[in-house]
Amino acid sequence: MAAPAAPAAGETGPDARLEAALADVPELARLLEIDPYLKPFAADFQRRYKKFSQVLHDIGENEGGIDKFSRGYESFGIHRCSDGGIYCKEWAPGAEGVFLTGEFSGWNPFSHPYKKLEYGKWELYIPPKQNKSPLIPHGSKLKVVITSKSGEILYRISPWAKYVVRENNNVNYDWIHWAPEDPYKFKHSRPKKPRSLRIYESHVGISSHEGKIASYKHFTSNVLPRIKDLGYNCIQLMAIMEHAYYASFGYQITSFFAASSRYGTPEELKELVDTAHSMGIVVLLDVVHSHASKNSEDGLNMFDGTDSCYFHSGPRGTHDLWDSRLFIYSSWEVLRFLLSNIRWWLEEYCFDGFRFDGVTSMLYHHHGMGQGFSGDYNEYFGLQVDEDALIYLMLANHLAHTLYPDSITIAEDVSGMPALCSPTSQGGGGFDYRLAMAIPDKWIQLLKEFKDEDWNMGNIVYTLTNRRYLEKCVAYAESHDQALVGDKTLAFWLMDAEMYTNMSVLAPFTPVIDRGIQLHKMIRLITHGLGGEGYLNFMGNEFGHPEWLDFPRKGNNESYHYARRQFNLTDDDLLRYKFLNNFDRDMNRLEERCGWLSAPQAYVSEKHEANKTITFERAGLLFIFNFHPSKSYTDYRVGTATPGKYPFLCQCMCLLRCNI
């Protein structure tokens, strides 16, 4: 269909503005067809798309395209040249002088000065030794020395550092030049994008039942086989980008290009990803581009001696709730840094995509603080939207999907911004999925505030089905958020202290354990079947992990007792945890067989308040749930769209249609 003609000069009415927007945004008509209520905001989509297109055009004009622009890690930082020399480059617009020091120079701070270039860039070439070997060997410690305009001498880690470590009881991290002679070579190709996305949210450090920081190698050998057996086809790895404070759960990043050294080396992380690929499992990185740690000596903050550089200057550059720094997404070099970071993890470590953390904070100038989102469309447009951040997210999604069409991107957005998961060609954000963040809150609210007999079936169904048409959601009953100390997992809400005393198969079922196990299964299956187009579980929650998650900190005497996952409980045949674990596995395997996550949204035929039943159909399956605390039903009659015999598949219950 031909694009509509541009409005004549002087035409400024609503119809003219709509026509202009349709002319500028290639597939906006499709978005407005899906949701006509967005028509009054067509000019907003037009402005966003034109700005996105303009930035892409400017990158092409000035940098030779986004492909070259996103390779910043190939020149910035330090690199071994073919002649054995070392090339160094930094962006420090507020610096008076830049130097490289380290073990190679006996820590002489001024022996190797950088040359000042245009646009705040600095470069240094260090010739090789006489035998053509590099002056800076693999594993050598380094620092960038900044002399500020106020005369301070500052020791910094390069923002592009690829490996940093904290030794012994040191407060700060050390920058290690990582250039092994025999880098890891990937053996297995990337799996194809799963038809149905079943995500196992994972944290390497807590993956052992022992009270310690587990390693990449431990995860590869011990946890990957469990994930495969459970039927998950995707892993979301948390806390990989280096963070100085372990208890931040990986959300206070200090070195964006460095894989966390507390779990092992970069080569060991590559082996983990490669091994997952060999099992047909895709691996997503939990990427944090919404903010950065305030650390200066081993972080980005004050890198060049100013409070700006990578961040907004003044109050706008600080997140009041997180006590962290906020990127200035309109900055050319910040765009280079963040887009190169996206490409780095995709290409160097072969990740298959990203879960973007803190997207709500990025999208709005108010960062979502003190804001309730009612669903009124006016909340998603206007001056409260940080369009620079939104354009960055569009660019990041465009880059990821251009480089690797099968890559997967997920937005952690609580606001529900329309079109965030629509293609950029429609003026959307370009994400593949968003997290259905209202669902776990609903389950916690029901368990915390209501008796079983007072659960509202219609309200449960509304929460599980309340998502935008054709914008995919990842549903989950609980994630890492509900596992943290100060909150309770579903298993803890359901069974609490009896998990410590009555989970033995040698003891009779108590009413609390019986109810807890059955509701745990039902909550997971109805969330899996009705809540979205993807499903997520946090490691250990599948078997009702009996303890909360709490990282070592002063408040718990630096204990690792709760910073672990007790997988050993599922291996003990005398404990009932194995029944929850097996149910989770059977649920995922049934989805793999029937594909309800990739099927159209379910048709809900019954939500009976008196009987406490919910019935729906999806992907040729008839799901019937009885949430009544005391009544069972025989010969229960429900309507179906298609006649036939429906063999029973699992308790809760789920029936597969077999036409005869």
Sequence ranges of the domains in the chain: 73-177, 438-599
Nearest to 173 by CA among 285, 294, 296: 296
| This prediction's pTM | 0.95
Average pLDDT, the chain: 94
pLDDT value at 488 more than 90: no
Residue 243 in tokens: 């963070």
Tokens at residue 606, please?
A: 């019954």
Closest CA to 520 of 550, 549, 548, 489: 489
Residues 6+ apart with CB under 8 A from 68: none
pLDDT in tens, 35-61: 999 999 999 999 999 999 999 999 999
**pLDDT for residue 660:** 27
The yes-or-no verdict on residue 531 having pLDDT over 60 is yes
List Cα–Cα distances, 621 to 78, 585, 588, 606, 647, in angstroms: 57, 18, 14, 15, 10
For residue 493, give the H/E element and its range: helix 490-495
DSSP per position, 409-436: EEE--SS--TTTTS-GGGTS---SEEE-
| pLDDT of 129 strictly over 90 | yes
The pLDDT assigned to 655 comes to: 55
SS (H, E, C) 370-385: CCCCCCCHHHHCCCCE
Q: What is the DSSP string of 283-340?
A: EEEEE--S-B---SSSSSTTTTSSS-TTB-SGGGGEETTTTEE-B-TT-HHHHHHHHH
Reported in sequence order, the residue ranges of 412-516 that DSSP labels E, i.e. its strands, are: 433-435, 472-475
Q: Is 96 a catalytic residue?
A: no
Catalytic residue (one of 90, 386, 412, 547): 412
**Which structure tokens are listed for 13?**
């009415």
Supply the pLDDT for residue 650: 60
- Whole-number pLDDT of residue 561: 94
For helices 332-347 and 387-403, give the axis angle rounded to 10 degrees.
Answer: 30
**pLDDT at residue 57, as a whole number:** 98
Cβ atoms of 310 and 300 within 8 Å: the answer is yes
- In this prediction, residue 641 carries a pLDDT of 85
| Cβ neighbourhood burial of 558 (10 Å; 0-12, 13-18, 19+) | exposed
Task: Kindly list the distances between the CA atom of residue 594 and the CA atoms of 158, 195, 591, 648, 659, in Å, as whole numbers in the listed order.
Answer: 49, 11, 5, 14, 15
pLDDT digits (tens, 9 = 90+) for 187-197: 999 999 999 99
SS3 percent helix, strand, coil of the chain, rounded to 5, is: 35, 20, 45
DSSP tag of 501: T
The alpha-carbon radius of gyration of the chain (Å, integer) is: 27
Kindly state the average pLDDT of the residues 525-537. 98
Beta strand 95-102 with 141-148 is: antiparallel
Query: How many CB atoms are closer than 10 A to CB 54?
Result: 11
For residue range 371-405, what is the model confidence (pLDDT) as tens digits?
Answer: 889 989 999 999 999 999 999 999 999 999 999 99
Sign of CA dihedral 106, 109, 111, 115: positive
Question: In 3-state terms, what secondary structure has residue 473?
Answer: strand
Q: What does 13-33 look like in DSSP terms, one character per residue?
A: SHHHHHHHHHHHSTTHHHHHH
Half-sphere exposure of 284 (CA within 13 A, CB side): 31
Count Cα atoms within 13 angstroms, Cβ side, for 615: 14
The whole-number average pLDDT for the span 357-371 is: 96
> For residue 486, what pLDDT band results from cuts at 50, 70 and 90?
confident
Buried residues in 596-632 as b, exposed as e (16+ CB within 10 A) = bbebeebebbbbbeeebbbbbbbbbbbbbbbbbeeee
Question: Residues 409-432: what's their mean pLDDT?
Answer: 98
Give the phi and the psi of residue 250 in degrees, each rounded to 5: 85, 10
412: annotated active-site residue: yes
Tell which CATH architecture fits domain 73-177: Sandwich (2.60)
| C-alpha to C-alpha distance for 420 and 26, rounded to whole angstroms | 17
Over residues 361-377, the mean pLDDT reads 94
Sheet holding 121-126, edge to edge: 77-80, 86-91, 121-126, 115-116
User: Whose structure tokens read 């995860």?
Assistant: 219
pLDDT at residue 638 tops 50: yes
Q: What's the confidence (pLDDT) of residue 24? A: 96
Distance between CA atoms of residues 93 and 334, nearest Å: 12
pLDDT of the residue at 248 = 93
Q: Which amino acid is at 24?
A: D
Per-residue model confidence as pLDDT tens digits over 268-317: 999 999 999 999 999 999 999 999 999 999 999 999 999 999 999 999 99
Output the pLDDT for position 659.
35
Lowest mean pLDDT among 14-18, 66-70, 116-120, 208-212: 14-18
pLDDT band at residue 253 using 50, 70 and 90 as cut-offs = very high
| Mean pLDDT for the stretch of residues 635-644 | 87
pLDDT value at 449 more than 90: yes
Going by the DSSP 8-state scheme, the letter that residue 105 receives in this structure is G
Q: pLDDT at position 651, please?
A: 54
Output the CA–CA distances (angstroms, integers) from residue 628 to 62, 94, 447, 612, in the order listed: 65, 66, 14, 5
pLDDT over 70 at 653, yes or no: no
Residues in CB range of 370: below 8 A, 6 or more apart:
none
pLDDT of residue 306: 97
**Active-site entry in 44, 201, 286, 357:** 357
User: What letters, b where the CB count within 10 A reaches 16 and e where it falls short, cover 63-72?
Assistant: beebeebbbb
- As a whole number of angstroms, the distance between CA 634 and CA 81 comes to 76
pLDDT (average), residues 512-518:
95
617-627 tens-digit pLDDT: 999 999 999 99
pLDDT at 5 over 80: no
Encoding tokens for residue 307?
Answer: 């409070």
Average pLDDT over residues 145-168: 96
DSSP state of 7: P
